[in-house]
Amino acid sequence: MKRIISIMTIAAAAAVPAMVSAQNTYSGYFLENYTYGYEMNPAFGNNSNYVSMPVLGNLNLSMRGTLHLSSVVFNRNGKTVLFTNPDVSVADAMKGIKDNNRLATYDKIEIMSAGFKAWGGYNTINISAVANVDASVPGSFFRLAKEGITNRTYDIKDLRAHAEAYGQIALNHSRDIKQVPGLRIGAAIKFMLGVGAIDAQFNRAELELGTDNWIARTNADIYASVKGLTYKTKTYEPKQPGPGNEPYDYVSGADLDGFGLSGFGMGFDLGAQYKWRDFNFSLAVVDLGFMNWGKTQWASTDGTREVETDAFTFNFDDKADNSFDNELDRLTDNLSKLYNLKDMGEKSSHTRSLRTTINAGVEYELPYYRKLKFGLLNSTCIAGPYTWTQFRLSANVAPVKVFSATANVAYGTYGFDFGWMLNLHTQKGFNLFVGMDHTLGKLAKQGIPLNSNASLNFGINFPF
């Protein structure tokens, strides 16, 4: 299990657990009287003023992935074994592993928020903290772990992770446009204070494995914008020094001395909805803006680098100290030796765009039973190599004034999902909602989901 944990987290090993991305439950997009619909479309308003319970007003926790635990854990002869077990064939082991395997966690805590009617519309103020991470692990890394030195050459491309953490203050205003009956628009402005950011790009690691040494051609960069962070280095001493095989320094880790803000940013949300007969159309662009990060520590191979080294040696004898299994454990525990990154010093501040999400929806109200509505939502997050999209079809019902619920199915980058949400709301006094965009499926004996898609959205608010 130690090896699998190393492999599945290797792209995020140097990262703090965070990334800029507005996190909300898409199950609540069409749900009647859902307090935080305006975070997905700033044109949405509420029927009542409200104030949130501190920290628990809108709690979002989720994980996503195309690599599932069920793809790396198997049952053989009544025992739970890893995909590297000899009883698991190469074909079975690689069946659930894709060329590009994505893993992500998205967490958002609404520290405090409030909404009120004024200035001809509905207004909100939110203070929140976001912490997320995205990682991509190539299938060739798993093939190396399974096949060992039966193949002499492995080409590991696009092993990467991106992470950011930040605090946010958001102000939102929405209103009806009286000149155009049925049209409502809204906008939000956001101010962000960055805690830290890390971008790890392991672009290439071409390995030629041998029993006495191996040759690595690597290309990688790590950018760390974290106040007080510095890289640690070690010196590699070859067992047999000589021309072309001299000692060299490489980045072996990082030290963190102190804590503070590392960046600032600004973003905008723009949205509109238009009601026509029994249909309600909506469109929003969320997190359109930038984040500027301060001084950044840079580690790099400085282009493509070729290294011939005996830091790891492989032996066909499974009982030997340098057996493939033992050496692979050391390799995954000390990835820095593979890439041989140099400390390139400090870079000046840099600016990057936020992860922008586009939400486009259409809702249909059943004419013979107005309490039942159906909705179709497409959400696309534009984030470079971490871009994702999904379509979500939902049935939404509000049988009584104090209760509404939704059930929905989704399909997109992360596969199929089943979502739901329950919303208890009085006109004044109390509001409680709970739901999941990605419902937990079967669990392993240790309580770990076999599917890497799961989420929880929970909130307590007080309308008045």
Question: What is the per-residue DSSP string for 166-201?
Answer: EEEEEEEEEEE-TTSTTEEEEEEEEEEEEEEEEEEE
Q: How far is the C-alpha of 397 from the C-alpha of 317, rounded, in Å?
A: 64
Q: How far apart are CA 158 and CA 206, in angstroms?
A: 11
What is the spatial distance between Cα 417 and Cα 408, in angstroms, rounded to a whole number? Answer: 8
| Residue (of 71, 57, 72, 68) closest to 24 by Cα position | 57
* Among the listed residues 420, 318, 372, the one whose alpha carbon sits nearest the alpha carbon of residue 84: 318
Ranges of residues in the chain with a pLDDT under 70 are 1-23, 148-151, 209-213, 239-245, 309-338, 441-450
Query: What tokens appear for 178 in the block?
Result: 């009286």
Tokens in use for 165?
A: 């953490």
From 361, 358, 359, select the one nearest 281 (Cα to Cα): 361
3-state secondary structure of 349: coil
Name the burial class of residue 365, with classes exposed (0-12), middle (13-18) and buried (19+) by CB atoms within 10 angstroms of its CB. Answer: middle
Token representation of residue 67: 């690599």
Q: In this predicted structure, what is the pLDDT of residue 289?
A: 95
> What is the Cα–Cα distance from 437 to 31, expressed in whole angstroms?
13
DSSP SS3 for 450: coil
Determine the Cα–Cα distance for residues 161 and 101; give it in Å rounded to an integer: 12
| pLDDT the model gives residue 318 | 58
Distance CA(441)–CA(32), nearest Å, equals 27
In this prediction the pTM is 0.84
Helix, strand, coil proportions of the chain in percent (round to 5)? 10, 55, 30
Looking at residue 206, its pLDDT comes to: 83
Closest CA relative to residue 349, chosen from 190, 197, 219, 130:
197
Q: What is the DSSP string of 232-269?
A: EEEEE--SS-BTTB--EEEEEEEEE------EEEEEEE
Whole-number pLDDT of residue 6: 39
Residue 80's pLDDT is what? 75
Q: Which residue has the tokens 């989720």?
A: 62
pLDDT of residue 290: 93
Q: Are 380 and 316 in contact (CB under 8 A)?
A: no
Provide CB contacts within 8 A for 319, sequence distance 6+. Answer: none
- The residue ranges of every structural domain in the chain are 2-402
d(C-alpha 309, C-alpha 327), whole Å: 14
